[in-house]
Structure 1
Amino acid sequence: MRTSPGRPALRFGERALTYGQLADTAGALAARIGGAPRVALWATPTLETAVGTVAALLAGVPVVPLNPKTGERELAHILADSAPALVLAAAGDELPAALRAVERIDINATATATAPTGPLPVPAGPEPEPAAPAMIVYTSGTTGPPKGAVLPRRAIAASLDAVADAWEWTGDDVLVHGLPLFHVHGLIIGVLGPLRRGGALRHLGRFSVDGVARELADGGTMLFGVPTMYHRLAESLDGDPALVKALAGARLLVSGSAALPLPDHTRITTATGRRVVERYGMTETLMNTSVRVDDPRPRPGSVGVPLPGVELRLVDEAGAAVAAYDGETIGEIQVRGTNLFSGYLNRPEATAAAFDGDWFRTGDMAVRDADGAVRIVGRKATDLIKSGGYKIGAGEIENALLDHPGVREAAVTGEPDPDLGERVVAWIVPADADPGARPSPEELEAHVARQLSPHKRPREVRFLDALPRNDMGKIMKRALSAGAAGS
C-alpha cells in the first residue's frame, strides 16, 4: 500500500479518500482499537467499512464483517461464537439490539484538511505474524449454523497477489464494483485488492447499469460482478450504446460467486468485443482458479486454471485422485496452498471433517479439460444427480436450458425416483410472462436431449415467476420445492 499520498484510493459515490487521507483516518482508528482481541464490523457498502477494514489490519486485530441483512437469530449466533470486544460502525448507523451490548466505536471516514505525506503508519508493537488471523468471515450456513472461517494474513496476501498475476492487475487500474462488503469477493478482493496494488476503487454503493456505464466511461478499467449483475448488463446492451462503449473500453470484466450462463457470455462478447473472465473461490480458500487475462482462447463455462500457489485435484467417490483430463470425468475439487483458511472458529470437529489430509474438501464437483482448466458442474450436495446409473452435473443442463430463447432463468435439481434413483427436475423462469407464450415441458426436454444427451434431459419441468436467490445472487436450491412452483 505504499504509494503517493495524493493518489486516489477509495470513492463511494461523492465521498472519496486519497491514500494519504486513508492513512490518516485508518491510522487514527487503528490506534483506538489496538490490543482488542477481536472486533466486529457493521459492513455496509460505504467508505466507513473500507476504513474499518484497513484499520483492523493495521492494528493487527482480527475483524468479523457482519452482513447488515442478517436475521436476529443468525446474528446472535455469530456474536456468541466470535465474541467481539468492539463493534465498528458508521456514525448514525442504527445497530440491532444484539449488538448494543457490545462497546461501539464510530468510524470517522472524513478526510482532514491536511493529509499526511508518508505511507500508511505502522502500528506500535511487533509486526503481526503471517499466520495471525486477519478476518473471520462467516459462511452462509446452508447446512447448519454459520461457521466462522479464520483467514490468516498470509492467505489474504497470497490470494491478492495470485489474482494480480492472473489478471495483470497494476496500480494503474481503477476497479468498479457494487458488491456487498461482508464477504471475500466484495471486501477482500474488491477493496483490499486495489489497495495492495496501489490502484483505486470506485464502489457504486448499489449496483446499477447506469452506474457501471458511468464509472467505466470515466476511467474505470476493471469491473467485478456476479452473474445476476452481468445478466442485467447483457439485457441492457441492445438499447444502450453508451453501455456498449463503456464495457468495450474496460480492460477486464470479472464474474464470480456462481457460474455465468453461456448466453450472457455470448451477448456481452458479441456486443462489446470483451469477454467476461470467470474465477472460482470460496470463503475458506479465497481464490483457487481463474481464466488468465493472457489466455487467448475463449473460455465460456470455464473457471480457468489453478492460480499461482494453489494445488488442485479432483477425487472420485472412493477418495482416489481423478487422473483423466477429458472434460467428462466428474470429481470433487480439493485444494491446498497458502490461500487456505486456518480452520473454523471454535469448531475443531468441523475443521477436521473439512480436510482430506492437507487437502480441503470444497464440495464442488468439476471436470478438467486437457490443458487443466476447470469446469464446475455443481455442488456435491445439491448438483450431482445420480440418475439411471449416470452421474450428471446440474450446471451443464442449466446452461443448455438457458440456450433456449424461451428461458430467462433455470435451475436444475435431483429428486428421488423409484426407477431412476434420482430424476432431473428443471425449474424455469420463462422469458415471456404470458403462460401461452412459454415453451412446453416437452420442448425443453427435447432441447436438452439434442444439446447434451437423452439421459440428461429433465424428466419434469416446473415454471416459476422467480428463482430464490441469496444476497450474492446464488440460487438457493434447497428452497426449491414442489410448493414453490408457479404451475
Structure 2
Amino acid sequence: MQVISAVCKSVTVAPEKIAVTTGDEFFSFAELLRSAQSVSHLLEDKYKHHDHSAAEEVRSDLIGARIGIIARPCAEFVAAVWGSWLNGYVVVPLALNFPEAELLHVITDAQISAILTTPDSVGAVANLVGNSSAELYLLPPVESARGRDEFESPNVGVDELVADVRSRISAVADDAAALIIYTSGTTGRPKGVVHTHAGLGAQVRMISEAWDCTAEDRFLHCLPLHHVHGLINALLTPLYVGATIDLMPKFSTSGVWQRWRHCYPIDGPSAESPITLFTGVPTMYVRLLQGYAAMDAEARKASAHAAKQLRVMLCASSALPEPVMDEWESLTGHRLVERYGMTEFGMGLSNPLHGEKKPGFVGMPLPGIEIRIDDSESDVRGVGELLFKSPSMFREYWRQPQVTHDSFTEDGFFKTGDTVTMKDGYIKILGRSSIDILMVGGFKLSALEIEAVLLDHPAIAECAVFGLPDEEYGEIVCAVVVPPAADVTDSAVDPKPRLSLKLLQTWALERIAAYKVPKKLVIWERMPRNAMGKVNKKEIRKSVLGSPP
C-alpha cells in the first residue's frame, strides 16, 4: 500500500507539515492520518457490532468490502479514503451532485455496504440511503491545525500512530482491490473500474516523476473527486510526495484568479508556500480566459503576473484546442503540458515537462508504458486504435468478466477505443473509434446510456445521441428524436409541440447528471435507416452538422 506508506513517512519526518487546506482551515499530515485511524475504528465497530467478532478477525474477513464516500472536497474525504484502506476495504467515490437514479445504480452494482459522509451532506444523501441497503455513517471531523491549542504539539503519539497504521496496511496485499471508479462506455450503463493498491502506487509514482513533484509543491485543486484526474492526479499524487493541496469546493473562475493573485501579488513579496502547480481540463482554461477578458486593466496586469509565477500548468481529460493553448501561453508564458489518460490506467502519455510541447499532441509514453497502434482495419497505414500496457492498468471491470476479457488483445494490450497517429514519437488523438463515446468538458459519456434514459420520456419513441463540436466543452450532447406516431398526427391539429429543448432538459436533470443532458435537440418525423434497417449515427451527425443552426 504505497500511498499510505509514503504518508507514514511524511508524518514521521514532519508531522506538522500542512497536507490540506480548505478555505481558512489547515490540516497536517499527522492530523489527517490520525483521523483516518478514527475512520478505520468506526468501520471496524460497524462490522464487529454485526458479528461480535474481534476487530482483527473482522478486518481479515471483510477485506474487499465496498465503502461509498460522498462529500464535498474536504479533509474528511481524504481521511475516509485512507481509513477505509487501513481495513483493506475498497473505496467507491460518489458524486454529491449526481441524480439519485445514477447513484443508486453505483451503490447497487458495487454492492456498497456503508456510505461515509459529512454532516453538511447528510440531507442530500438521506433519501438515497433510505432507498438502498447501505448504512450511513458520519465522518468524524478532522482537527484543524488552526484550532489546536498553541501548547499542543501534533507530534504527540505520532510513533504509536504510525506503528498502528503500518501494522494495518501490512495485512493488505498489493494486488488487493483499492478503488472502484465508475465510467461510461459503449455498453451503456456506467461500469466499475477496479484499481489495486499496486496499480495506484504505479500511477502516483509515474505522475510525480513526470511533473517533478516534491514536498515543496502546493497544488490548487478544483476538480471532481470521483474521477481519476481529480482523485489520483491532483489529490493522491501530491499527498504521496508530501506536498500541500488547497482544496476548492468547486471550480470558480474568479476564485482561481484571486488565489493566484494572493500568492503572487504584483506589488509585494510572494506568499509563504504559494501555489506552484495547477491542473485542469480545457473547459476550465477557456473560462479562465473569459474571466480574464472581463477584468479591468489593473486586474488583468496583476492576474497575468501571478499566473506566470507558477512552476507548471497542465491540461487533460479532453482535447485542448490549439487556439486556447496559444492564447494561454501568450497571456501567462505557460505552454500547457497536455497529456492523456483514461479511468482504466490513469495517466499514460504526456508532453515533456522540459522539452518540446507539440500543440495538438498528447505526448509520449511515460517510462514503463508500452503502446501500439493497431491499423489492421484502417485505410491509412499508421492510423488506428491506440493499444496500451501499463503497470498502473486496472484489474477488471467490476462483475463484468466478459467485458474485461474483450477489452484486451490476446497479448495483453488494453484497447483504448481512441484512433491515433504518431509523429516523431508524439501521439495525436484523431477521435474515438466509436461514435457512441462523447467527451464533454473532460467527462467521457456513453451515448447509449443517455439514449436509454431519453427513451423513457413519453414524447420520445426513438432517439439517437452523439456529440457535436463545441469551442468551450469540446463536444456537446445532441439528441435527434422521433415522437410517437400519434404525436406526429396530432401536431397537424395542435401545432404546439409536446417536447422542446427546455422541457427535455428539465425532465432529464432529474435522471442524469447535468453534463449528460442534451444541449441540442433535433426533432424528426422518422429516423433514417440503412438497407439493413440500422440507424447510421455518423450519417445523422453529418446531416445535423450540415443543417442551418
TM-score scaled by length of structure 1: 0.76
Corresponding position of 1:249? 309
* Change over 3 Å in CA distance of 1:205–1:381 after alignment to 2: same
* Change over 3 Å in CA distance of 1:5–1:67 after alignment to 2: same
After superposition, where does 1:5-404 map in structure 2 within 5 Å? 5-34=15-44, 35=59, 36=62, 37-93=65-121, 94=123, 95-100=125-130, 101-111=133-143, 113=148, 114=152, 115-116=154-155, 117-118=158-159, 120=162, 121-124=165-168, 126-140=170-184, 143-217=187-261, 218=263, 219-238=274-293, 239=295, 240-295=300-355, 297-318=356-377, 329-357=382-410, 358-370=412-424, 372-382=425-435
* Change over 3 Å in CA distance of 1:96–1:374 after alignment to 2: farther
Deviations 1:133-170 (A, max 9, x none): 11011113564111111001111111111111111111
Point out where structure 2 has 5 or more consecutive residues left out of the alignment. 1-6, 45-58, 264-273, 440-446, 448-465, 473-500, 524-543
Q: What's the CA shift for 1:480?
A: 5.4
> Quick check: 1:258–1:474 contact (8 Å CA) kept in 2?
no
Distance 1:66 1:270 in 2: 38
2:280 is aligned with what amino acid?
A: G
Q: What's the CA shift for 1:193?
A: 0.9
Distance 1:273 1:126 in 2: 46
Deviations 1:258-289 (A, max 9, x none): 11111110111011211111111111111111
> Quick check: 1:178–1:206 contact (8 Å CA) kept in 2?
yes
> Quick check: 1:279–1:304 contact (8 Å CA) kept in 2?
yes
> Quick check: 2:67–2:90 contact (8 Å CA) kept in 1?
yes
Distance 1:110 1:77 in 2: 30
Distance 2:375 2:400 in 1: 27
Deviations 1:105-155 (A, max 9, x none): 211233174534347533537432111111011113564111111001111
> Quick check: 2:357–2:363 contact (8 Å CA) kept in 1?
no
Q: Please, what is the CA RMSD of the aligned residues?
A: 3.2
* Change over 3 Å in CA distance of 1:474–1:302 after alignment to 2: farther
Q: What's the CA shift for 1:481?
A: 5.4
Distance 1:225 1:16 in 2: 23
* Change over 3 Å in CA distance of 1:200–1:185 after alignment to 2: same
Q: What's the CA shift for 1:102?
A: 1.6
Corresponding position of 2:535? none
SS at match of 2:190: coil
Deviations 1:416-442 (A, max 9, x none): xxxxxxxx9965679xxxxxxxxxxxx
Distance 1:475 1:110 in 2: 32
Distance 2:366 2:118 in 1: 36
Q: Which structure is higher in RCO with an 8 Å CA cutoff and minimum separation 6?
A: 2
Q: What's the CA shift for 1:477?
A: 11
2:168 is aligned with what amino acid?
A: A
Q: What's the CA shift for 1:350?
A: 0.9
Higher radius of gyration, 1 or 2: 2
> Quick check: 1:74–1:145 contact (8 Å CA) kept in 2?
no
Q: What's the CA shift for 1:351?
A: 0.6
Q: What's the CA shift for 1:341?
A: 0.5
1:482 is aligned with what amino acid?
A: V
Aligned length: 406
Q: What's the CA shift for 1:248?
A: 0.4
More helix by share: 2
Q: What's the CA shift for 1:92?
A: 3.5
* Change over 3 Å in CA distance of 1:67–1:141 after alignment to 2: farther
Corresponding position of 2:48? none
2:228 is aligned with what amino acid?
A: V
Distance 1:69 1:309 in 2: 37
SS at match of 1:281: strand
* Change over 3 Å in CA distance of 1:272–1:126 after alignment to 2: closer
> Quick check: 1:15–1:47 contact (8 Å CA) kept in 2?
no
Q: What's the CA shift for 1:43?
A: 4.0
